[in-house]
Amino acid sequence: MTLSRRLTHFTVALAGAALLSTSLSAQARELSVSTVLSDAFPWGQAAERWAELVEERSEGRITLRVYPNSQLVSGDQTREFSAMRSGLIDLAVGSTINWSPQVPELNLFSLPFFIPDESAVDAVTGGEAGKMVFDAIESRGVVPLAWGENGFRQLSNSRGPISAPEDLDGLRIRVVGSPLFQDTFSALGADPTQMSWTDAQPALTTGAVDGQENPLSVFDVARIDQVGQEYLTLWNYMNDPLIFAANERVWASLDEADREMLRETAIEAGEWEIAMTREEEPERLADIEARGVNVTELSDEQHQAFVDATQAVHEKWVPRIGEAIVEAAQASMDAR
């Protein structure tokens, strides 16, 4: 064989190897999924369910690797959206609260005492306001795919029962890194203290903070009553929908069939997680009470006192969120 023919065979072999490598990479792809909580919680279970469905529907061609506990952002949950937008994270099941610093429209769900119950949540996320929120997310380089649910956030503390705004006077309450949360608890007379959940648990144990607010699922699974939180008030002051989403460049790199599959599985996982979260609430509350936690349920009059005390927060934040979105949300709730 002449030298030129040997070189030709070698070039063809290299080209074949490159094509094989390309074909294999197209057949098998791993995408990262960020979550704040592990699969001990419904939030983490939502991400794992999504991964299971994608593995099944793609026949193993696409793998979603779930990174819980905000691992991909060194534990700083408020950096998750920015990291996904920049491409450090491929996919996420994220919180409207944690993403709100970058997407102000997401503060819609954190307006105190605005969304009263689960049917109202569904009316908002499934209506025009939900579409407007998804448009706002997509305009910032992230593609929203589906809704999930972290639930209504309840208030706990180590000092005593809370049934009126004045009961919060001077209490140090751990809050997430959102100015809206700072304003809400300041309006109620509390001393809001921003810290990550990693830092919050030891702070509750030592008494550096008196209380915190979280959904019942977090209170239950994390055994927050074991760090001195003996008093729990059910006040449904805000809801935290979860959002399944993708980095826009990752999304664009997928073919149409895979994009449709990823969206469909996200919707399915979200619906599964929402139903599970809601079905488990009564049993969780019963378990919490059985552990000796003092639970306060507000009367209509008591609830209205908190609504009145936070009215100025609405006046400040509605323009920041967007009056059109707030009005659309209110219209959807009124039309239930």
Domain ranges of the chain: 30-334
Q: What is the pLDDT of residue 27?
A: 64
- 2 pLDDT band, cuts 50/70/90, is low
pLDDT tens for 160-200 read 999 999 999 999 999 988 999 999 999 999 999 998 888 88
Average pLDDT, the chain: 93
Of 16-30, 45-59, 71-85, 269-283, the range with the lowest mean pLDDT is 16-30
- 315 pLDDT band, cuts 50/70/90, is very high
Contact at 8 Å (CB) between 121 and 239?
Answer: yes
Q: What is the pLDDT of residue 116?
A: 96
Q: What is the pLDDT of residue 197?
A: 80
pTM above 0.85, yes or no: yes
Q: Which fold has domain 30-334?
A: D-Maltodextrin-Binding Protein; domain 2 (3.40.190)
69 token code pair: 């506990």
Report the percentage of the chain scoring pLDDT > 90: 87
Contact at 8 Å (CB) between 262 and 93?
Answer: no
Answer whether residue 258 shows pLDDT above 80: yes
Segment (H or E) for 191:
strand 191-194
Q: Read off the pLDDT of each residue in 8-20 and give the average, rounded to a whole number.
A: 46
- CA atoms of 15 and 251, how far apart (whole Å): 28
- CA atoms of 110 and 316, how far apart (whole Å): 13
Q: What is the pLDDT of residue 4?
A: 52
**CB atoms inside a 10 Å sphere around CB 48:** 19
Tell me the DSSP string of 285-302: HHHHHHTT-EEEE--HHH
Q: State residue 34 phi and psi, 5-degree precision.
A: -95, 135
More confident residue, 25 or 308: 308
- CA atoms of 238 and 7, how far apart (whole Å): 69
